[in-house]
Amino acid sequence: MDNTLQLLTPIQLGTYTLPNRLVMAPLTRCRAAAGNVPYELHATYYAQRATAGLIISEATQVCPQGQGYPATPGIHSAAQIAGWKKVTQAVHDQGGRIFLQLWHVGRISHPDFQPNGELPVAPSAIAPTGEVGTYEGMKPYVAPRALELEEIPSVIDQYRQGAKNALEAGFDGVEVHGANGYLIDQFLQDCTNHRTDAYGGSVENRSRFLMEVLEAVIEVWGGNRVGLRLSPSGSFNDMGDSDPKTLFSYVVQELNKFNLAYLHLIEPRLNASQDTLEHLSSDLTSGFFRPLFNSKIIAAGGLNREIGEHIISKGEADLIAYGRIYISNPDLVKRFALNASLNPYDRSTFYGGTEQGYTDYPFLEEASK
């Protein structure tokens, strides 16, 4: 066992003392049952990975309007709450900790997913480029409907109710999904927010929706059991801002008033030809935001054991979130401790299906100790 690996050292995160600094990243897997309900298969999947310092659940829509992909779970019905209770109980039975990621996709949807076939909603009526996967196959994105000013409080209340439902379902905390081009990110970035009211224009106005969502969720959980995920350098889902450094520097500093458990940052991805540590000195990484934020930082984004350890050793982040390699290695903590080889992941089973590529990846044999 590698007792010198900082990734394996305990850390205080909000109200919890975690046994290690490995975080299972939120991973959309599109396996919910009818009614977008998680069930026993989800309980097995998450419980298999309960040795992680913290599990963050797959993105979970706070309302029917918030759905944008097939078979993603929700947290807005009694059946969904009951399904998630099976998951949290299974994780807790294995000694783990799990936060629910609260999600609203905004414009990254299609009328096929929307109540009564209505248009998706967004800050502004700007369609993303590309296509969306529906139950009937790929379809072009549509232009969303811009939220009316008087509608926004009800959307914020959906996050509040989602947070309450997560508490009822037995989660240890919640993460607000503010990344990857979904509704909160759409309010933040000026390529998707062309509003001229209190929620558009200036950096302060574009940040207002995020801040009000956090206030609502913290009313339920307290700041020390709430995290936030952001993707300052991300272009996924047709995103971009004219001045991301100013925008996200402002946002991150404003977060300090909430005393959050953590800020979860998606790092710029390594290029295939650039498998080095050089990206850590680029803009909009955890290292850039570290001096601006007073609480813990989780770094994510295609990182491996060595780069994760390097980021922690430099003090740029406190924990590292792993996604794809957590899919294929339920005992990732043990494999890191032994510096053991990792199971390769099968991309063809990432989305949809049942056990294959979900709960059937092998654990290290006990003889490996």
**Structure-token pair, residue 278:** 């050089």
Q: How far apart are CA 132 and CA 364, in angstroms?
A: 37
DSSP string, 335-352: HHHHT---PPP-GGGSSS
Catalytic residue from among 46, 69, 182, 358: 182
Is there a catalytic annotation at residue 182? yes
CA within 13 Å, CB half, 129: 6
Residues 6+ apart with CB under 8 A from 199: 123, 149, 152, 187, 193, 205, 206, 208, 209
In which region does residue 338 sit, left (phi positive, over 0), alpha (psi from -120 to 50) or beta (all else)?
alpha
Max CA distance (Å), the chain? 64
Query: How many CB atoms neighbour CB 365 within 10 A?
Result: 7
CB 101 within 8 A of CB 56: yes
**Structure-token pair, residue 36:** 């977008």
Q: How far apart are CA 349 and CA 148, in angstroms?
A: 39
Measured CA to CA in angstroms, residue 254 lies from 114, 115, 286, 314, 319 at distances of 33, 35, 16, 24, 21
Residues 6+ apart with CB under 8 A from 298: 23, 227, 262, 263, 264, 265, 317, 318, 319, 320, 321
Query: How many CB atoms neighbour CB 140 within 10 A?
Result: 11
Residues that are catalytic: 182
